[in-house]
Amino acid sequence: MAGSTPISPPARARSPYWYVLAGGLVAGTLDMTYACVFWAVRRGVGSERIFQSVAAGLLGKASFEGGASTAAFGLMLHYFIATTMALVYYLVASHWPRLQPRPLLWGAGYGLLLYFIMNFIVVPLSAAAPGSKDPLWVSLSIAVHMLFIGIPCALFATRALSISPATD
């Protein structure tokens, strides 16, 4: 529309961290969408319970008795974790430039690493019950971590680094 004001600043004015945040939001949304759709189709589980299962990592079984408030907390926690994953990739790639030219390859590898860290370190150390051993869930979760978490983190980090390399 002629004469309208753009909603966001031009790309050149954005901080690299804007792209890191966007990577976390995209990865978090894709991952949560997968979890909600999978469990709705497989067992009729609603989204609120999925969000509460994330909160269970900190709250334990009590998260399932908290209704919408613990579901909201779980969703917020999920996005915090996803954004942290994107930030970690960005920081590593800023110090290891070999990751930057091949974000699809390294992003998929990062997603695989994240799957193992989350399922074999983070969840066992949390207050949550062990994750599902459903073979379809496990195999699809590995693919989702590679394609829908690792790759977006890598792509957005690569874009952020093309704007202004990290100096930390």
Residues 115 and 142: their CA atoms lie apart, in Å, by 6
**The pLDDT value given to residue 17:** 95
Q: Return the higher-pLDDT residue of 10 and 147.
A: 147
Containing H/E element for 140?
A: helix 135-144
Does position 151 have pLDDT exceeding 50, yes or no?
A: yes
Which pLDDT score, from 0 to 100, does residue 12 have? 54
Q: In this predicted structure, what is the pLDDT of residue 168?
A: 46
48-102 tens-digit pLDDT: 999 999 999 999 999 999 999 999 999 999 999 999 999 999 999 999 999 999 9
User: How far is Cα 72 from Cα 79, in angstroms, rounded to an integer?
Assistant: 11
pLDDT at 14: 78
Residue 14 is classified by DSSP as S
pLDDT at 13: 57
Tens of pLDDT, residue by residue over 93-140, are 999 999 999 999 999 999 999 999 999 999 999 999 998 899 999 999
Closest by Cα among 52, 11, 40 to 163:
11
- What pLDDT is recorded for position 50? 98
Is the per-residue pLDDT at 163 higher than 50?
Answer: yes
pLDDT for 51 equals 98
> Can you give the pLDDT at residue 105?
98
Q: Are 131 and 123 in contact (CB under 8 A)?
A: yes
Please give the helix or strand (H or E) that residue 154 lies within, else none: helix 151-163
CB count in 10 Å sphere of residue 43? 10
Contact 114, 145 (CB under 8 A): yes
- Of 38, 65, 37, the C-alpha closest to 53 is 65
pLDDT at 38 over 70: yes
| Pair of tokens at residue 152 | 């977006």
How many angstroms separate the CA atoms of 25 and 19, rounded?
10
Q: What is the per-residue DSSP string for 49-102?
A: HHHHHHHHHHHGGGGGGSHHHHHHHHHHHHHHHHHHHHHHHHHHHHH-GGGTT-
> CA-based Rg of the chain, rounded to a whole angstrom?
17
